[in-house]
Amino acid sequence: MTTLRAGKRLVPVLLLAAALITAGCAGGKKPDSGSGGVAPTEPQKVVLNGAGASFPFPIYSLWFTEYNKLHPNVQINYQSIGSGGGQKAIIEKTVDFGASDAPMTDEKLKEAPGKILHIPTVMGAVVLTYNLPGVGTGLRLTPEAIAGIYLGKIKKWNDPLITRENPGLELPDKDIVVVHRSDGSGTTNIFTAYLSAVSPEWKSRVGSGTSVEWPTGVGAKGNEGVTTQVQQTEGAIGYVELAYAVENKLGYALVKNRAGNFVEPSIESVTAAAAGAARNMPEDFRIMIVDQPGEDAYPISGFTWLLIYAEQSDLTKGRTLLEFLQWALTDGEKMASQLLYAPLPASVRDMVLEALKTVTYRGQPILK
């Protein structure tokens, strides 16, 4: 599995220039222009810059690296700064694409100088990860317990709302250290949308969004920061994308879903959560899939999106970006499971591939 890098960091992908092969030329000399020979030209180097969500950072890093191996002239840089930063960057056009786990609101979209498209890439699970020596993956948490912890009402690990669902575990009389995101975050948007769906008190007191007024806890930046904070703090609990917990060997909870089952976050349980959404996908792809019905649905699941302009200002960059996205949605999707992301349902993928054909340069479609 790809190693996760902590912090706000630019991730350059391999920069290997393609070797120039001179065909039909003896002794390495250029062909005589008078003989009709044409010297081959090196593909134009294209650099794309993106920024945003840390939730998909592991899979995006892998995609950018693998795509560069196939197209050495294409370099894709990505800065993991959170969904709020990704939305701001695409609005201000300081990047070629943004990334977000939270769909942009109508109000945010109006701030942009042009129409922005949401391109779903993969789906993932937001998990409750914890640092409890002797307690591995498998702690059972109900919606009431999760809301109570993040509302600051459940303060000890041996609180009855937790222990009654975990009769086989010796939970300590230890303070719970709540960790949450300090930056604008699509992971926060998924998590707080879930809490708003299952807890009327949370919905009325706190609500949902990429950034909220937390009733309790300490903040950390990015999925990377929350992971590190939980690792270093005994008794801590935090919410991160599944790959971060697995990569760092942190335990994570089974969460009770709407059907009353305690479900482990996995590719299969995220796919189950997306089943209904796939049948009712809106044309702009802005949809949440928390607290979905279904026996096997993991309740804290979400899509993640790349944000691109419907009208591109640079033909070469626009075509390169769209060609990369076509690859990511087909060949790239096959890599998602190795990093614990769920690939898009086939019906959604086909819709997205068609949507890419609507992207234009000077009013003309870029892809044919």
In the chain, what percentage of residues exceed pLDDT 90? 86
Phi/psi of residue 238, nearest 5 degrees: -150, 170
- Confidence check: pLDDT of 277 > 90: no
Q: What is the mean pLDDT of residues 260-273?
A: 97
Using 50, 70 and 90 to split pLDDT, how confident is the model at 40? low
Residue 2 clears pLDDT 50, i.e. is over it: no
Q: Which pLDDT score, from 0 to 100, does residue 84 have?
A: 94
Q: Domains of the chain (ranges plus CATH)?
A: 10-30+44-123+304-365 (3.40.190.10), 125-279 (3.40.190.10)
- In this predicted model, what pLDDT tens digit does every residue of 152-187 receive, in sequence order? 999 999 999 999 999 989 999 999 999 999 999 999
Q: Name the average pLDDT for the chain.
A: 90
Burial of residue 153 (number of CB atoms within 10 Å: 0-12, 13-18, 19+): middle
Q: Does 339 have pLDDT greater than 50? A: yes
- Name the pLDDT band for 279 (thresholds 50, 70, 90): confident
pLDDT of residue 23: 34
pLDDT mean over 114-136? 96
pLDDT of residue 41: 66
Q: What is d(CA 361, CA 246) in angstroms, rounded to the nearest whole number?
A: 42
Please give the pLDDT value at position 1: 38
- What's the pTM value of the predicted model, to 2 decimals? 0.84
Q: Which pLDDT does position 29 carry in this prediction?
A: 38
pLDDT for 13 beyond 90: no
Q: How far is Cα 195 from Cα 192, in angstroms, rounded to an integer?
A: 5
What residue has token string 């795509």? 67
Per-residue pLDDT at 89 exceeds 90: yes
Amino acid letter at 246?
A: V
